[in-house]
Amino acid sequence: MTQSEGTAPATSNGAQPSPANGAHGQLAELLLKTGHVSAEQLRHAQRVHSKLVTPKVLLRVLLDLHYVTREQIAEALRARTAPIPLADLLLELGVLREADLKSAAAFQQEHPGTRLSQVLVTQRFLEERVLLEVFSLQLGYPRLSPTEERLDAELLNRAPIPWFRENEFIPLARRDGAIVVAFADPLDEKQLEAARRVFAANLIVGVAARGEIAEALDRYEASRTKGRDVKIDENAVVQLVNQFINDAADVYASDIHIEPMRDRLRVRFRQDGVLVGYKDFPKDLAPSLTSRIKIMANLDIAEKRRHQDGRILFDLKGLPCDIRLSTYASIHGETLVMRLLRRRSSLLEVREIGMSPRMLQRYIEDVLDTPSGVVIITGPTGSGKTTTLYGSINYLNNPKTSIITAEDPVEYVIEGITQCSINPKINLTYEDTLKSIVRQDPDIIVIGEIRDKFSAETAIQAALTGHKVLTTFHTEDSIGGLLRLLNMDIEAFLISSTVVSVVAQRLLRRVCRHCAEDQMLSPQQVRRLGFESREAQELRFKVGRGCRACNFSGYAGRIAVFELLVLNELVKDALIAHRTSYEIRRISTESTGLVTLLEDGIQKALHGQTTFDEIIRQLPRLAKPRPVAELHRLQGDEQ
């Protein structure tokens, strides 16, 4: 591997990777030296490689041309006396991108003492399964399973257990005068040297997953302390719970997942819609931690066999935080999920939520400015529906208008409107509130969520009597919102005569502006988006390389993508005729200017705001997107 310009990536032991021998890369040179490929074959592969539109490693070209097999690659690697540095090997095998390697190297510099293999796995540049496969199949190290072995106490007693954890290896057994040792990274010279110092014997080097090594060490340590009473300080548990709630709030996490595993208690935060590891705790801490949280939520701490739901009112640095708690009885104990609902006083204006210029204009003029009717904002949990809802309410709020809400709970406090937070514990239910709400002489009614037929009928009836109704719903897209109302046995003619608009939305992670770089989509990626290969040149996306500003994730914050359906007579007629969702969607795109979630996501990716991976991960692909030029025109940003 020839070094690219800029900071050179570090290897697993912190050294710089050695430059490749020649221009081919170390692995290609090795195959040439061992006679697995000829000089003519290598030159031909290089010519093919230089003409490729989509980047591909030279070794992949050799494999595609059938000049070499995977078995021959493995054979050549095993015959080599000195191992190829891990960074070079992963690049040449094509399992790691050079941009990802640079990001991993930058993360190493920010966190001294971490190894490359550890960074690649923990920061999700590479699956541990792939890394172990490289170690085992390509380098010939046997794949070991420490959790299934009967551990040798004499070998483990030669050093403290924390020392084995730090060096990430574990001795397993004696075999033919040698000691079998499972390493998380068998290319790490420091690990190998540490093992040789302790055991002073020949080593049979094998490879195992970090989690398996840690679990085996935990099991051995537990067997030594079996029978001892584990005393857990109650005050320490209280402080621990408060600490990770505050830590979750500091990183703007929406949920806290507390999950008992076979060997540990895992805590993760959902940040920007993705679960991120926080900390692992000893399994012995699980009962005390679970009981503390259940006490805070006024749940039955003695009931461990059934699922429970509760609510915690938490003082978050002087601000109220409503936490919804859900417990789930799993095979390893109770799993807890805590959703943080902060009662915020500041909110986005409707012009700041992220709609494209033309869509925003239609939403204000054709939806919000209409005097009556139902406006439905739809999407899955955590898609930003509440932010859009409150931005719309704030736009409509003025001294001449009476706005009243029924919410569970109130998330934003808006001056000048009447807000009610549902509380079933005192029999303040949705049903009772919705019955009373129309008697308050409102102009605009806000129903936090359509949950059932009763709340749907209330919204429809309020609209029929001249009120404007804003509400949220859980459906996949805008057409799905209409179809779900039909499935609730609401008459089609009532829906068509009252529903003004359905807004569907999702939240996608935003590309970090500090480390964004151009991305050329492969033909396969272009096809997955629904475009023809000839349109590839128009699809210029960005991708985050990973830097300190985004904690090496490539993303910072989130953006919303929208699908705005404003019902016209053609859509209403199709609804009354009970046409299929495909037909209603086709009529909507042809006659109402509907831009689908997928198309809006593609448009935002073209502006460098999100990535191909986020579009594929989050957005439904229900119809083929229109050409890029047409999307620019529909969104009001013709280029």
Which residue stretches of the chain have pLDDT < 70? Answer: 1-24, 53-55, 81, 83, 137-138, 201, 225-232, 343-346, 425, 638-639
Contact 586, 624 (CB under 8 A): no
* Cα distances (angstroms) measured from residue 303 to each of 238, 246, 285, 290, 434: 20, 27, 18, 11, 34
CATH number of 234-342: 3.30.450.90
CATH 3.30.450.90 in the chain is located at: 234-342
Strands 468-473 and 499-511: unpaired
Position 557, amino acid: G
C-alpha–C-alpha distance, residues 92 and 98, integer Å: 10
What are 401-436's pLDDT values in tens digits?
999 998 887 777 888 899 888 777 677 777 788 888
C-alpha–C-alpha distance, residues 354 and 202, integer Å: 63
Q: What pLDDT, on the 0 to 100 scale, is given for residue 137? A: 66
C-alpha–C-alpha distance, residues 554 and 514, integer Å: 9
C-alpha–C-alpha distance, residues 509 and 521, integer Å: 18
Q: Which value, in Å, is the radius of gyration of the alpha carbons in the chain?
A: 30
- Both structure tokens of 114: 């971490």
- Both structure tokens of 591: 């006659």
- Both structure tokens of 483: 């179809």
CATH 3.30.300.160 in the chain is located at: 146-224
C-alpha–C-alpha distance, residues 218 and 333, integer Å: 18
Q: What pLDDT, on the 0 to 100 scale, is given for residue 583? A: 92
Helix axes of 70-79 and 26-33: crossing angle, nearest 10 degrees: 90
* Cα distances (angstroms) measured from residue 572 to each of 34, 233, 589: 72, 64, 14
Q: What pLDDT, on the 0 to 100 scale, is given for residue 435? A: 81
What are 287-340's pLDDT values in tens digits?
999 999 999 999 999 998 899 998 898 888 777 788 999 999 999 899 999 999
DSSP symbols for 560-583: EEEEEEE--HHHHHHHHTT--HHH
CATH number of 146-224: 3.30.300.160
C-alpha–C-alpha distance, residues 117 and 213, integer Å: 15
C-alpha–C-alpha distance, residues 97 and 1, integer Å: 12
With vertex at residue 62, the alpha carbon angle to CA 56 and CA 65, rounded to the nearest 5 degrees, is 105
DSSP 534: G
447 phi, psi to nearest 5 deg? -105, 115
Contact 173, 194 (CB under 8 A): no
* Cα distances (angstroms) measured from residue 487 to each of 65, 135, 455, 484, 583: 55, 54, 14, 5, 17
42 phi, psi to nearest 5 deg? -65, -40
With vertex at residue 571, the alpha carbon angle to CA 566 and CA 574, rounded to the nearest 5 degrees, is 160
Q: What pLDDT, on the 0 to 100 scale, is given for residue 81? A: 67
Q: What is the pTM of this model?
A: 0.71
Contact 402, 507 (CB under 8 A): no
Beta bridge partners of 350: none
Burial string for 339-374 (b: 16+ CB within 10 Å, else e) reads bbbbbeeebbebeebbbbebbbebbeebbbeeebbb
DSSP 621: -
- Both structure tokens of 77: 């690697």
Strands 203-207 and 178-183: parallel
Residue 165: which residues within 8 A CB-CB, separation 6 or more? Answer: 214, 217
Three-state DSSP at 70 gives helix
Helix axes of 581-591 and 569-576: crossing angle, nearest 10 degrees: 170
Question: What is the fold of 350-507+558-596?
Answer: Rossmann fold (3.40.50)
CB atoms within 10 A of CB 54: 12
Contact 387, 341 (CB under 8 A): no
Q: What is the largest CA-CA distance in the chain?
A: 90
C-alpha–C-alpha distance, residues 597 and 379, integer Å: 11
250 phi, psi to nearest 5 deg? -65, -30
CATH 3.40.50.300 in the chain is located at: 350-507+558-596
- Please state whether 408 falls in left (phi above 0), alpha (psi between -120 and 50) or beta: beta
Strands 555-566 and 499-511: antiparallel
C-alpha–C-alpha distance, residues 280 and 45, integer Å: 48
Q: What pLDDT, on the 0 to 100 scale, is given for residue 367? A: 95
Task: Match 């040179």 to its residue by tokens.
Answer: 29
With vertex at residue 380, the alpha carbon angle to CA 589 and CA 458, rounded to the nearest 5 degrees, is 85
